[in-house]
């Protein structure tokens, strides 16, 4: 424990973000840093609990509690306080291949289970993590570390999202020759095209990919296994394969007018925006623009927030976000005790920006889309909704009940659907003859990650369904361990 009284002497302090009204004018990251002195004080607030729930990485009430990659949080908090930054990045990399990603986009379940949070604002764990990495990268402490010896075993990793990259990184460390296949034109999967640049600068993603390439990982883009690379070649060219293709089938909105022009899945909106931004700073026009439009975002979560923030940067006329669930309470409820993830009301960066521009949170709660209407040109022009309430049916299940007289028509020239994902695309799965579970995910037990096909493993959202980046890293690391065990008969991977 670096400073035994630190948690009593210092209050939680996070660095100020760039002003919402300023940052919506560009696509740059908006988080800033504290001074080194203040950051060290934040590290000193860690209590070094006898049972540190912050790195437990378990599921409570269906949500993550603690860090899924089991980061040794009290240890690197102490190193921050003592100013041992170089040791801190080494300790952080022991459990997390990509702290630059989780320190930016993870919702920080570690903070939700921080013991400090029982009575006081929790330790700034996520910001501490990001600061460690950014300091180490700036100082040049993170250098390529290729394996000293190769095993002669070849492994294919299909998909370059967080699970695929984590798996490839781990397998490369123990000397296997790893090839990562990505169907898009850039490596990164969700990290590259699913998360906007202002939330995760693509220079950060490219930096890590370049580092892995220098360490010996091969990356092949514009190649979809099962399409322009035959699925059976995996067995001819490699000794093992790990499928990390993600859960990329978006949940459909089953309403009249879904096929009108101007109604898009959020994933397409975000992907095309980032690609156009990186290709030409939007000069090529190859993106779905919200400029001058009334935008309706149907769905919540991180994707909904990203759609709101992206629309604002395009220069939309208005943006409203529909949530079918009620607003969360302002404080923890008795049925949501610590160390569960606190289900409390908050505004994420996109809502903060909309509130700064329009004067209110853009979210509408307990609202259901009934119909999308358009003009004679086939272009969307309005969305019809009704307010709902949640009640128990005869079997005790919570169901929606429409409230009569609450019908409303909203102007809209752009509608973005972000209602989650149903599972992985199935073409490759079927070509390889891989079994699926009841949710259509690849059937592979957590902890073993083996499919019914010998030598083929699966990890991340493709196996567990839509989840967090940090869970994907957890699964990629663990699948690499089991793949290594399969190839060598033993493993030294954690």
Helix-helix angle 125-139:73-82, to 10 degrees: 60
Residue with tokens 């931004």: 277
Q: How far apart are CA 368 and CA 191, in angstroms?
A: 30
Model pTM?
A: 0.96
* pLDDT computed for residue 4 by the predictor: 87
Q: Is the pLDDT of residue 475 over 70?
A: yes
* Domain definitions of the chain by residue range: 6-139, 154-249+422-488, 252-419
Comparing 322 with 7, the larger pLDDT belongs to 322
Cβ proximity of 311 and 295 under 8 Å: yes
Q: Is the pLDDT of residue 197 over 80?
A: yes
* pLDDT computed for residue 444 by the predictor: 97
The CATH number corresponding to 154-249+422-488 among 3.30.465.10, 3.50.50.60, 3.40.50.1260, 1.10.10.60 equals 3.50.50.60
Cβ proximity of 273 and 414 under 8 Å: no
* pLDDT computed for residue 194 by the predictor: 96
Q: How far apart are CA 373 and CA 267, in angstroms?
A: 22
| CA distances in angstroms from 130 to 36, 67, 100, listed in the order given | 13, 15, 6
- pLDDT bin (cut points 50, 70, 90) of residue 383 is very high
- pLDDT bin (cut points 50, 70, 90) of residue 209 is very high
Helix-helix angle 125-139:85-93, to 10 degrees: 110
Domain 252-419 top-level CATH class: alpha beta
Q: Is the pLDDT of residue 3 over 90?
A: no
- Any idea what the Cα angle at residue 485 is, between residues 476 and 212, rounded to 5°? 45
Q: How far apart are CA 459 and CA 472, in angstroms?
A: 7
Cβ proximity of 463 and 453 under 8 Å: no
Identify the weakest region by mean pLDDT among 45-49, 378-382, 441-445. Answer: 45-49
* pLDDT computed for residue 49 by the predictor: 86
Q: How far apart are CA 40 and CA 263, in angstroms?
A: 48
| Pairing mode, strands 58-60 and 63-65 | antiparallel
> Per-residue pLDDT tens for 424-436?
999 999 999 999 9
- pLDDT bin (cut points 50, 70, 90) of residue 353 is very high
* pLDDT computed for residue 47 by the predictor: 87
**Is the fold of 154-249+422-488 the same as that of 252-419?**
yes
- Any idea what the Cα angle at residue 225 is, between residues 219 and 228, rounded to 5°? 100
* pLDDT computed for residue 177 by the predictor: 98
Cβ proximity of 324 and 98 under 8 Å: no
What's the rounded mean pLDDT across residues 156-174? Answer: 98
Q: How far apart are CA 114 and CA 112, in angstroms?
A: 6
- pLDDT bin (cut points 50, 70, 90) of residue 1 is low
Q: Is the pLDDT of residue 261 over 70?
A: yes
What's the rounded mean pLDDT across residues 352-369? Answer: 98
Residues written for the chain: 494
The pair of structure tokens assigned to 114 is 């921080």
Cβ proximity of 432 and 390 under 8 Å: no
Q: Which residues of 406-441 are buried (b: 16+ CB within 10 A; e: fewer)?
A: eeeebebbbbbbbbbbbbbbeebbeebebebeeebb
What does the H/E/C string look like for the chain? CCCCCHHHHCCCCCCCECCHHHHCCCCCCCECCCCHHHHHHHHHCCCCCCCCHHHCCEEECCEEECCCCCCCHHHHHHHHHHCCHHHHHHHHHCCCCCHHHHHHHCCCHHHHCCHHHHCCCCCCHHHHHHHHHHHHHHHCCCCCCCCCCCCCCEEEEECCCHHHHHHHHHHHHCCCEEEEECCCCCCCCHHHHHCCCCCCCHHHHHHHHHHHHHCCCEEECCCCECCCECCCHHHHHCCEEEECCCCCEECCCCCECCCCECEEEHHHHHHHHHHHHHHHCCCCCCCCCCCCCEEEEECCHHHHHHHHHHHHHHCCCEEEEECCCCCCCCCCCCCCCCCCCCCCCCCCHHHHHHHHHHCCCCEECCEEEEEEEECCCCEEEEEEEEEEEEEECCCCCEEEEECCCCCEEEECCEEEECCCEEECCCHHHHHCCCCECCCCCECCCCCCCECCCCCEEECCHHHHCCCCHHHHHHHHHHHHHHHHHHHHCCCCCC
Cβ proximity of 386 and 255 under 8 Å: no
Rounded mean pLDDT of the chain? 96
105: closest CA among 128, 88, 80, 130? 130
What does the CA dihedral 424, 427, 432, 436 come to, rounded to 10 degrees? Answer: 40
Identify the weakest region by mean pLDDT among 19-23, 55-59, 66-70. Answer: 55-59
296: closest CA among 407, 222, 228, 384? 384
| CA distances in angstroms from 363 to 299, 319, 345, listed in the order given | 10, 9, 12
Domain 6-139 top-level CATH class: mainly alpha
What's the rounded mean pLDDT across residues 226-249? Answer: 97
Cβ proximity of 370 and 328 under 8 Å: no
Residue with tokens 């999967």: 189
The pair of structure tokens assigned to 368 is 């259901």
> Per-residue pLDDT tens for 72-91?
999 999 999 999 999 999 99
Q: Is the pLDDT of residue 50 over 90?
A: no
């Amino acid at each position: 424990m670096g400073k035994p009284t630190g948690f009593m002497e210092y209050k939680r302090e996070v660095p100020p973000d760039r002003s919402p009204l300023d940052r919506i004018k560009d696509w740059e990251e908006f988080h800033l840093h504290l001074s080194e002195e203040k950051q060290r004080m934040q590290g000193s607030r860690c209590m070094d609990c006898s049972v540190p729930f912050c790195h437990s990485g378990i599921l409570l009430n269906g949500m993550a509690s603690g860090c899924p990659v089991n980061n040794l949080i009290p240890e690197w908090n102490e190193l921050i306080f003592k100013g041992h930054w170089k040791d801190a990045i080494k300790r952080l990399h022991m459990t997390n291949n990509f702290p630059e990603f989780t320190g930016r986009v993870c919702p920080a379940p570690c903070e939700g289970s921080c013991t400090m949070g029982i009575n006081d604002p929790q330790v700034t764990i996520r910001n501490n993590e990001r600061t460690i990495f950014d300091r180490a990268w700036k100082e040049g402490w993170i250098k390529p570390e290729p394996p000293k010896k190769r095993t002669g075993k070849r492994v294919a990793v299909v998909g370059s999202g967080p699970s695929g990259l984590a798996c490839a990184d781990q397998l490369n460390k123990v000397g296997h020759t790893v090839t990562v296949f990505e169907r898009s034109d850039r490596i990164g999967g969700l990290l590259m095209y699913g998360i906007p640049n202002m939330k995760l600068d693509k220079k950060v993603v490219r930096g890590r990919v370049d580092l892995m390439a220098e360490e010996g990982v091969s990356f092949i883009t514009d190649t979809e296994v099962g399409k322009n690379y035959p699925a059976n070649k995996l067995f001819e060219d490699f000794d093992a394969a790990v499928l990390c293709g993600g859960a990329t089938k978006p949940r459909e909105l089953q309403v009249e007018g879904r096929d009108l022009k101007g109604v898009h899945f959020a994933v397409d909106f975000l992907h095309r925006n980032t690609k156009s931004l990186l290709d030409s700073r939007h000069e090529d026009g190859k993106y779905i623009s919200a400029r001058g439009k009334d935008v309706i975002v149907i769905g919540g979560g991180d994707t909904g927030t990203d759609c709101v923030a992206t629309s604002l940067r395009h220069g939309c006329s208005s943006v409203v976000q529909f949530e079918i669930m009620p607003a969360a309470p302002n404080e923890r409820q008795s049925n949501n005790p610590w160390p569960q993830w606190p289900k409390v009301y908050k505004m994420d960066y996109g809502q903060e920006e909309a509130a700064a521009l329009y004067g209110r949170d853009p979210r509408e709660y307990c609202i259901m889309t009934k119909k999308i209407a358009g003009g004679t040109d086939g272009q969307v022009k309005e969305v019809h909704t009704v307010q709902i309430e949640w009640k128990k049916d005869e079997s005790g299940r919570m169901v929606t009940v429409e409230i009569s007289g609450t019908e409303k028509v909203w102007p809209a020239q752009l509608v973005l659907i972000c209602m989650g994902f149903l599972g992985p695309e199935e073409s490759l799965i079927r070509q390889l003859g891989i079994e699926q579970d009841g949710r259509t995910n690849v059937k592979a037990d957590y902890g073993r990650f083996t499919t019914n096909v010998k030598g083929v493993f699966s990890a991340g959202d493709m196996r567990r369904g839509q989840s967090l980046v940090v869970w994907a890293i957890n699964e990629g690391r663990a699948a690499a361990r089991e793949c290594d065990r399969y190839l060598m008969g033993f493993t030294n991977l954690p």
